[in-house]
Amino acid sequence: MPRYFSDLVKGSRIYTDTIGTELADVRLIPDEVSGFQMSNAKDNLQSSDDFDSVIRVRNEKNQVIYQSTLTHRVVWLADEDSDAAPVST
């Protein structure tokens, strides 16, 4: 069964997957990466800081064949104690 490696890029840091995951079908990569992104987001959304998370999937030939980017941006629209009108969504 083919093995795929999911490297995590956060800012200037790259966390290289040296173990990989065996998948019966390349079409399973999006589901695997979505789960990885969700887990990573849960860890990072504990704070109100902005972050970008990029996952690059490599095949056994070390070719990047898939990339997923998750971006989280925080914008304060008013101070809790301000008299600013509520923002409608």
Q: Where are the beta strands (DSSP E) in 11-79?
A: 13-15, 21-22, 51-58, 64-72
pLDDT digits (tens, 9 = 90+) for 27-69: 999 999 999 999 888 877 766 678 889 999 999 999 999 999 9
Instruction: Using a cut of 0.85, tell me whether the model's pTM lies above it.
Output: no
pLDDT of 89 over the 70 cut? no
CA dist., res. 3 & res. 32, Å (int) = 12
Give the whole-angstrom CA distance, residue 27 versus residue 88. 40
Average pLDDT, the chain: 87
Which residue in 25, 36, 43, 21 sits closest to 67, CA to CA?
A: 36
**Mean of pLDDT values over 15-29:** 96
pLDDT at position 84, please?
Answer: 62
Cβ pair 7, 65 in contact under 8 A: no
